A and B are shown apart, each in its own frame.
Chain A
């Protein structure tokens, strides 16, 4: 009961803090906060596969990007309204993740990574070379926002609500019987079919759900950035998403937001000094894998746990020390029960 209320209080506090950002931060940072939430949602969709199903998708930016491209094409090139373009974008992401998922979920482990990587690069290749539709390197610009979402704070609140709703849905999915089955697949894929579960179907559905949320994030990104280009779907973005999840802590969902915040803040700071972001990101990758493979949240948890253990050890040591510090109280009982005195009393 108390833990549940503590959690609820934490969520309420986080939402309050999120809602306060436009009041305390300049518009540039409000925009950055929107971006962090959008990529946090993408990273969460990756976490559903990575942390809960044990499949590492290396091409999720492509699914994200398909939604962004569809929104951009329908909105900017064909002049359709948002009520058509946004659902079409998410639908596009679902279709692509359906096709990609069908191919990828037949495999696991390394093969899954390599296949999703190749799928992601395929989308990049299309975005880059199918000039008549995607505009190649020039991308598609001129995406409009609905009238009530034009200012940074307006857009930020919309993204905040979107993020909160999606996070809640993903949380419910991850902690449903379906989510438990996914975790069963993650922990022991060979045993699940023997328990009567259709592993391939579960993996496919997980891929589809994950792709759907990546598509929502992608559609939001198209409106946020008002411009899409091959850089939106490139492999570095997919890898960044995976890094966000691992940095924050996989299998926690909310760790993805933490990772997204850390990575995008770092990128913003680094970009003031150098263009070499990929070197920095690559180094982060190496450092995280070598020194913090289970992420910040778990690392913090472990740190807190160690602190607690240390405190209880100190207490134990203290209790051992006590008799030595006050020798009189320690020796008194020994002195009080000398054998001869008992003999003398009768």
Chain B
């Protein structure tokens, strides 16, 4: 293995991890705060990616597409929470099954509207091409993705650890009843987390649509990776989502380049090992 190969795989892994982190952290936040395993999160990623694609195609502006995707994702997630989940509050099983139903509807709707041909969202021209890093030349877009992923991670950390709002969320993860007893409207906090998760999923939908493409089944692929990430890292923990995303990104990059037929399988190896020895995840608490 040459050093340039290693650097290449490192960067590939990082760019995938950046994408995974944006989806998985939203999933994990919703789970941690509300104990809702929102299985429609992958479908949210896919449909906002497709909406972004349509807007990018018709306006020619990547940023407009990104904005449209985020708005659509936020509206959809508010609909999911206020239109459906509110009727099955505190019934975990029903909540999960409800989001499964919504995920099927959304995913099949995408297939009906946008068809089954895998499509890439066109990357804006300044980001096309590669950048010379000395050892290797690497696509600019992927480098930007790594930067975005890192800044999202820092921003989320600052939000959760350094703001009043973040303190309320963390308190809500530990004891929602006590938070509402202190006079804080926990429902608004829940809604805020749903909106935050939707913004992340919408951004990831467009960025991922330009990296991996949009295709039927892309929703369950990304959902599955989110599951692996949160099971490995620990459900409801931001650090866990970060660690899990990095692990999943590197394994996917290395697996794809070395054992393409079993790449999917390799992604699960850490999950199996961690479940066997640390069922609460690497960073998770019981």
A111 interfacial by beta-carbon distance below 8 Å: yes
Interface residues of A in 265-290 (CB under 8 A from B): 276-279, 281-286, 289-290
Identity of the chain B residue whose Cβ is nearest the Cβ of A128 in the assembled complex: B264
* Number of residues on chain B facing chain A (CB within 8 A): 43
CB distance from A235 to the nearest CB of B (A): 6
Contact partners of B37 in chain A: CB under 8 A: 110, 113-114
Contact present for B97 and A282 (CB under 8 Å): no
B140 interfacial by beta-carbon distance below 8 Å: no
Contact partners of A293 in chain B: CB under 8 A: 88, 91, 94
Contact partners of B265 in chain A: CB under 8 A: 122, 125-126, 130
Contact partners of A130 in chain B: CB under 8 A: 261-262, 265
Contact present for B97 and A246 (CB under 8 Å): yes
> Given that A121-B220, A132-B261, A293-B94 are known contacts, is A107 also in contact with B279, CB under 8 Å in the complex?
yes
Interface residues of A in 71-117 (CB under 8 A from B): 102-103, 106-107, 109-111, 113-115, 117
Cβ-neighbour of A289 out of B98, B227, B228, B275 (below 8 A): B98
Contact partners of A121 in chain B: CB under 8 A: 220, 224, 227
Contact partners of A239 in chain B: CB under 8 A: 100, 104
A56 interfacial by beta-carbon distance below 8 Å: yes
A166 interfacial by beta-carbon distance below 8 Å: no
Identity of the chain A residue whose Cβ is nearest the Cβ of B31 in the assembled complex: A110
> Secondary structure at chain B's binding surface: helix, strand, loop or mixed?
helix
Contact present for A286 and B102 (CB under 8 Å): yes
Contact present for B279 and A131 (CB under 8 Å): no
Interface centre among A102, A277, A282 (most CB of B within 10 A): A282
Contact partners of A246 in chain B: CB under 8 A: 97
Binary CB contact string for chain B from 235 to 246 against chain A (1 if under 8 A, 0 otherwise): 100000000000
Interface residues of A in 224-265 (CB under 8 A from B): 235-236, 239, 242-243, 246
Contact present for B279 and A286 (CB under 8 Å): no
Contact partners of B84 in chain A: CB under 8 A: 286, 290
Contact present for B268 and A122 (CB under 8 Å): yes
Task: List 5 extra interface pairs beyond A279-B104, A282-B108, A289-B97, CB under 8 A.
Answer: A106-B275, A114-B227, A117-B227, A126-B264, A126-B265
Name B residues whose Cβ lies closer than 8 Å to a Cβ of A. Answer: 31, 35, 37, 39, 84, 87-88, 91-94, 96-98, 100-109, 112, 220, 224, 227-228, 230-231, 235, 261-265, 268, 271-272, 275-276, 279
CB distance from B212 to the nearest CB of A (A): 15
A191 interfacial by beta-carbon distance below 8 Å: no
Contact partners of A131 in chain B: CB under 8 A: 261
Contact partners of B94 in chain A: CB under 8 A: 289, 293
The 4 tightest CB contacts between A and B, nearest first, are A285-B101, A282-B104, A282-B105, A125-B264
Contact present for A114 and B231 (CB under 8 Å): yes
A56 to B39, CA, bound (A): 14
CB distance from A185 to the nearest CB of B (A): 15
Identity of the chain B residue whose Cβ is nearest the Cβ of A250 in the assembled complex: B93
Contact present for A285 and B104 (CB under 8 Å): yes
Contact present for A110 and B96 (CB under 8 Å): yes
> Given that A115-B231, A118-B224 are known contacts, is A103 also in contact with B104, CB under 8 Å in the complex?
no
Contact partners of B103 in chain A: CB under 8 A: 282
A302 interfacial by beta-carbon distance below 8 Å: no
Contact present for A103 and B261 (CB under 8 Å): no
Contact partners of B39 in chain A: CB under 8 A: 117
Size bracket, chain A contacts? 35 or more
Contact partners of A111 in chain B: CB under 8 A: 235, 279
Contact partners of A290 in chain B: CB under 8 A: 84, 87-88, 98
A281 to B100, CA, bound (A): 10
A175 interfacial by beta-carbon distance below 8 Å: no
Contact partners of B268 in chain A: CB under 8 A: 118, 122
A122 to B104, CA, bound (A): 19
A122 to B107, CA, bound (A): 20
A310 to B88, CA, bound (A): 29
Contact partners of B224 in chain A: CB under 8 A: 117-118, 121, 125
A282 to B100, CA, bound (A): 7
CB distance from B247 to the nearest CB of A (A): 14
A194 to B35, CA, bound (A): 27
Contact present for A103 and B108 (CB under 8 Å): no
Contact partners of A285 in chain B: CB under 8 A: 97-98, 100-101, 104
Contact present for B92 and A109 (CB under 8 Å): yes
Contact partners of B275 in chain A: CB under 8 A: 103, 106, 115
> Given that A56-B96, A126-B264, A130-B261 are known contacts, is A283 also in contact with B101, CB under 8 Å in the complex?
yes
A331 interfacial by beta-carbon distance below 8 Å: no
Cβ-neighbour of A278 out of B31, B96, B107 (below 8 A): B107
A315 interfacial by beta-carbon distance below 8 Å: no
A129 interfacial by beta-carbon distance below 8 Å: yes
A292 to B100, CA, bound (A): 16
A243 to B220, CA, bound (A): 18
CB distance from B31 to the nearest CB of A (A): 8
A117 to B37, CA, bound (A): 12
Question: Could you pull out 25 A-B pairs where Cβ atoms are within 8 angstroms?
Answer: A56-B93, A58-B100, A103-B272, A103-B275, A103-B276, A109-B92, A110-B37, A113-B93, A113-B96, A118-B227, A126-B264, A128-B264, A130-B261, A130-B262, A243-B97, A246-B97, A282-B103, A282-B105, A285-B100, A286-B101, A289-B88, A289-B94, A289-B98, A290-B88, A293-B94
A286 to B275, CA, bound (A): 31
Identity of the chain B residue whose Cβ is nearest the Cβ of A274 in the assembled complex: B112
CB distance from A112 to the nearest CB of B (A): 11
Contact partners of A276 in chain B: CB under 8 A: 108, 112
Contact partners of A129 in chain B: CB under 8 A: 261-264
CB distance from B114 to the nearest CB of A (A): 14
Identity of the chain A residue whose Cβ is nearest the Cβ of B224 in the assembled complex: A121
